[in-house]
Chain A
Amino acid sequence: MVVVQVENVTAGYGKRSKVVDRVSFNVRAGEMIGIVGPNGSGKSTLLRVMAGLHEAASGSVRYKNIPLSSFTSSQRAKTVAYLPQFDELTAAYSARQVVEIGRYAYQHGLWPAANNKEDEQVIQNAMQQMQVWSKRFHSFHALSGGEKQRVLLARLLAQEPECLLLDEPTNHLDIHYRIELLNYIRSWTLEEKRAVVVVMHDIQAAALYCDRVLMLSQGRVEAFDEPTAVFTESRLAQVYQADIHVSLQHEIKAPAVHWRPPQPEGNGADDVPLSWSETAHRMEAVSHTALNVYAPSLKKLVYGSVFFVDTINGAVHISADGELTHTIQFSPDMHVWRKSTGSREAVFGSGQSCFLWLHMAEGWPAQEISSLQLYMQRKAFEWMHDRGYTGLSHGALEEVIVTAPVKKNEAIPEEQLHWHYLHIGELIESVLDDYNSASG
């Protein structure tokens, strides 16, 4: 069920400025949506428009199909609760009094009488849910950063809204409180089946916690999809103008986003290859992309190949320096494996397989080899992902990356091939056993 519909919203400050430019997206019940984007991309303004605090120049925001503009102040408060980025308290309220503020829309009568029982119950529930009930008599100022944010969240929960709008709720929190707070929000979303929209600067957290991510760039929607689809290296590089790497995590369905800080010189500083080119051509039953990677620190080109094999009964020609150097005849003995979704299945002779072949000169330091291997893995995944090999999403690397150290321009006897099963040695071995027992 769609809780929030944002349609074509344009908003700004002053007549001409368009801080938010024709943004449309929706939020379903039980869904956590992350809004990411560089500073000034319109995230907070969009959230303020959704909270009814800033008027959109055009477009509409609807909650459960009712336009936001038709709500009264208290109806709005009962539908959507908003946590601003900077929420400073001037007076020394107790935690409980802070949460009680959230009940404003439910309290009637001219004379501020004592709270009724329902209010009391809701306040207690909200504070218990956020685990701050024991702190209810503490002064808000005396609470730790994480507790403060939890009390503020309890205040939003006391509004009993359909939708929470949070503007960087984990700002200024250390990793412990950040994880704790995001976990609270996530569980609440899942349990209560309400909608949550969170503005986040932390892309990694957005990738981990959000069902879908709305990426804004200069006020426009750059992408709106699942994190895996939104966070690609090329898009991050373009939107954030930064060299950000994306790889897959093995246990959870979320991309890992990381980057490499400047290293002291002579300490493997530039050993991660920076340039990247590829040529692809399709041979008989095999698509082959040659990867030429330049490692600046080594002043060397490294050659690799990504193969997409339609059938294993064929030969793959490996070229380096544009010349044909090796021919590999595929055979079941080569242990090229693919784990299909849901069940383990060897694909020799049938189905598709994809793997990476890496040529490396002998005598390279182990550290460089391993960093190159990681880099190639990542590139291989990107390559496959960009070409829409959807079956090769999460965990794809595990089954497709096989590396072998070889001497350049030298044919390798097959028996000398050294297979490295990265990350999943055990898994591949068990698949191997399966295969051997089945065929043997």
Chain B
Amino acid sequence: MLAAFTGVLLLAVSAGSVAVPLSVSIRAVLIQFFPFLPVSLETEAGAAAIIQEVRLPRVLLASAVGGALGLAGAVFQGLLRNPLADPYTLGVSSGSSLGAVAVLYFGWQIPLLGGFTLPVVSIICGFLTLAVLLLFVYSVERAVRTETMILAGIIITAFLSAFMSLLIAFSGEELRQIIQWLLGSVSRRGWDYFQLIVPCLLVGVLLLLPQARALNAFAFGEDSASSVGVNVARTRLLLLIGASVLTGGAVAVSGTIGFVGLVIPHMIRLLWGPDHKHLLPLSFIGGAVFLMLADLIARTAASPAEVPVGVITALAGAPVFALLLFYQRRRRWQ
């Protein structure tokens, strides 16, 4: 999987409207990450600049967003014991989206943040949504049940979507921008955005990966998990926060990119089994690879125009997933 990740990363930075030889790409990437290495790019400075300033941040952002969504999706599906759960189930993404749409609509600019206003506001809105959700859910019942959580997520999503529709309805020139954002994209973001998602990624990954065993225990429901020694309340909160941080970060920098969080964990499960010890890291890498590829297609397929990456994820992901499911179920019957 790691090899696939590296391969796709290099392929993604090389391909584009200006094709860059693979050897140059490799060297450019090496220099970016390991400046102390004795590798030089003096002769291909132009190509290297394209890679280092434009493509590498974009590809890395795609991989970060894809990884975050894949991991968050796997965690939500495991925790909520619902195969239809995805990172957007609990409505955190709606909060982030609403924040972003509001920024676009009102044309806000927070001093010092500048063009950075949108992702920052978006992340904050995402967290506010999570806080409201948890507050609501824990005041409904002390021993929170999963169904309550899903229902609360649906309520919040519906409520926030209404606001979003309202803003869209009233919008004029901003409409195109808003729609573009809602479709999701990792283009023209630069290193700043990548730097914004990295802390979210670190927090999320560090919180979530050690909980693989606990997630396995959740497979039989919370009573069983508690019975085998999982501190259900604490673990669930941890998982929720971790997955929400990932989702919020991803939505803030790239908009709502569908399909990755839902389908990647299922694909991994079909290929490697449901054990979260493998599922979590593989969903992360799988999501990263998938979104890098999708973004690659998005910007090369109709070059120089760009297809929204969300369109590609669904267009490419759905048939692949369908095929996998088909063969898996067929094999079971035979």
Question: Do A and B interact with each other, yes or no?
Answer: yes
Q: Mark B76-106, 1 if CB is under 8 A from A, else 0.
A: 0010011100000000000000000000000
Q: Mark B198-210, 1 if CB is under 8 A from A, else 0.
A: 0000000000011
Kindly report which residue of chain A lies nearest to residue B277, judged by CB atoms.
A112
CB distance from A115 to the nearest CB of B (A): 10
Q: Please, which residues of chain B bring their CB within 8 A of the CB of A90?
A: 81-83, 219
Kindly report which residue of chain B lies nearest to residue A82, judged by CB atoms.
B227
Q: A69 vs B229: C-alpha distance in the bound complex, in angstroms? A: 14
Interface-lining segment among A91-99, A315-323, A342-350, A415-423: A91-99
Q: Is the CB of A53 within 8 A of B227?
A: yes
Q: Is the CB of A104 within 8 A of B273?
A: no
State whether A111 and B274 are in contact (beta carbons under 8 Å apart), knowing that A53-B226, A73-B231, A88-B220 are contacts in the complex: no
State whether A112 and B210 are in contact (beta carbons under 8 Å apart), knowing that A92-B273, A101-B228 are contacts in the complex: yes
| Chain A interface mostly | mixed
Of the residues B214, B228, B274, contact of A91 by C-beta under 8 Å: B274
Q: A87 vs B228: C-alpha distance in the bound complex, in angstroms? A: 13
CB distance from B80 to the nearest CB of A (A): 9
Q: Please, which residues of chain A bring their CB within 8 A of the CB of B229?
A: 73-74, 76-78, 104-105, 159
Q: Is the CB of A102 within 8 A of B228?
A: yes
Q: A101 vs B222: C-alpha distance in the bound complex, in angstroms? A: 13
Of the residues B213, B223, B228, contact of A112 by C-beta under 8 Å: B213
CB distance from B242 to the nearest CB of A (A): 13
State whether A82 and B223 are in contact (beta carbons under 8 Å apart), knowing that A94-B273, A112-B277 are contacts in the complex: yes
Q: Is the CB of B221 within 8 A of A84?
A: yes
Q: In this complex, which of A89, A98, A101, A111 has the most chain B Cβ atoms within 10 angstroms of its Cβ?
A: A101
Q: Is the CB of B223 within 8 A of A111?
A: no
- Asked if B29 lies at the interface with its beta carbon under 8 angstroms from chain A, I say no
CB distance from A242 to the nearest CB of B (A): 31
Q: A279 vs B210: C-alpha distance in the bound complex, in angstroms? A: 75
CB distance from B215 to the nearest CB of A (A): 10
Kindly report which residue of chain B lies nearest to residue A52, judged by CB atoms.
B226
CB distance from A101 to the nearest CB of B (A): 5
- Asked if A175 lies at the interface with its beta carbon under 8 angstroms from chain B, I say no
Q: Please, which residues of chain B bring their CB within 8 A of the CB of A77?
A: 227-229
Q: Is the CB of A93 within 8 A of B219?
A: yes
Q: Is the CB of A73 within 8 A of B277?
A: no
State whether A73 and B226 are in contact (beta carbons under 8 Å apart), knowing that A84-B221, A111-B210, A112-B210 are contacts in the complex: yes
Kindly report which residue of chain B lies nearest to residue A73, judged by CB atoms.
B231
Of the residues A82, A93, A104, A105, contact of B275 by C-beta under 8 Å: A93
Q: Mark A93-126, 1 if CB is under 8 A from B, else 0.
A: 1100110111011010011100000000000000
Q: Is the CB of B214 within 8 A of A104?
A: yes
Kindly report which residue of chain B lies nearest to residue A102, judged by CB atoms.
B228
Interface residues of A in 59-74 (CB under 8 A from B): 73-74
Kindly report which residue of chain A lies nearest to residue B231, judged by CB atoms.
A73
Q: A87 vs B217: C-alpha distance in the bound complex, in angstroms? A: 12
Of the residues A94, A104, A111, contact of B230 by C-beta under 8 Å: A104
What is the number of residues of chain A that contact chain B, defined by CB distance less than 8 Å?
35
Q: Please, which residues of chain A bring their CB within 8 A of the CB of B221?
A: 84, 87-88
Q: Please, which residues of chain B bring their CB within 8 A of the CB of A181?
A: none
Q: A281 vs B262: C-alpha distance in the bound complex, in angstroms? A: 81
Kindly report which residue of chain A lies nearest to residue B206, judged by CB atoms.
A110
Q: Please, which residues of chain A bring their CB within 8 A of the CB of B274?
A: 91-93, 97
State whether A112 and B212 are in contact (beta carbons under 8 Å apart), knowing that A53-B227, A81-B227, A105-B229 are contacts in the complex: yes
- Asked if A51 lies at the interface with its beta carbon under 8 angstroms from chain B, I say yes
Q: Mark B117-144, 1 if CB is under 8 A from A, else 0.
A: 0000000000000000000000000000
- Asked if B300 lies at the interface with its beta carbon under 8 angstroms from chain A, I say no
Q: Mark A32-72, 1 if CB is under 8 A from B, else 0.
A: 00000000000000001001110000000000000000000
- Asked if B299 lies at the interface with its beta carbon under 8 angstroms from chain A, I say no
CB distance from B334 to the nearest CB of A (A): 13
Kindly report which residue of chain B lies nearest to residue A156, judged by CB atoms.
B227
Of the residues B83, B210, B223, contact of A84 by C-beta under 8 Å: B223
Q: Is the CB of B210 within 8 A of A110?
A: yes
Q: Please, which residues of chain A bring their CB within 8 A of the CB of B217?
A: 101, 104
Q: Please, which residues of chain B bring their CB within 8 A of the CB of A101?
A: 216-217, 219-220, 224, 228
Q: In this complex, which of B83, B229, B274 has the most chain A Cβ atoms within 10 angstroms of its Cβ?
A: B229
Q: A107 vs B231: C-alpha distance in the bound complex, in angstroms? A: 14
Kindly report which residue of chain B lies nearest to residue A109, judged by CB atoms.
B210
Q: Please, which residues of chain A bring their CB within 8 A of the CB of B83?
A: 90
Q: Please, which residues of chain A bring their CB within 8 A of the CB of B82?
A: 90
CB distance from B88 to the nearest CB of A (A): 19
Q: Please, which residues of chain A bring their CB within 8 A of the CB of B27?
A: none
Q: A288 vs B220: C-alpha distance in the bound complex, in angstroms? A: 61
Q: Is the CB of B209 within 8 A of A111?
A: yes
CB distance from B243 to the nearest CB of A (A): 17
Q: Other than A90-B219, A97-B216, give 16 A-B pairs with Cβ distance below 8 A.
A: A52-B226, A73-B226, A73-B230, A81-B227, A84-B223, A88-B221, A91-B219, A91-B274, A93-B219, A100-B216, A101-B228, A102-B228, A110-B210, A111-B210, A112-B209, A112-B213
Question: B residues near A, CB below 8 A?
Answer: 78, 81-83, 209-210, 212-214, 216-217, 219-221, 223-224, 226-231, 269, 273-275, 277
Closest 8 CB pairs of A and B: A77-B229, A105-B229, A91-B274, A82-B227, A110-B210, A74-B229, A73-B231, A104-B228
Show 25 A/B contacts (Cβ-Cβ < 8 Å), sorted by A: A52-B226, A53-B223, A53-B227, A74-B229, A81-B228, A82-B223, A82-B224, A84-B224, A87-B224, A89-B220, A90-B81, A90-B219, A91-B269, A92-B273, A93-B274, A94-B273, A97-B275, A101-B220, A101-B224, A102-B228, A104-B214, A105-B229, A112-B212, A112-B213, A159-B228
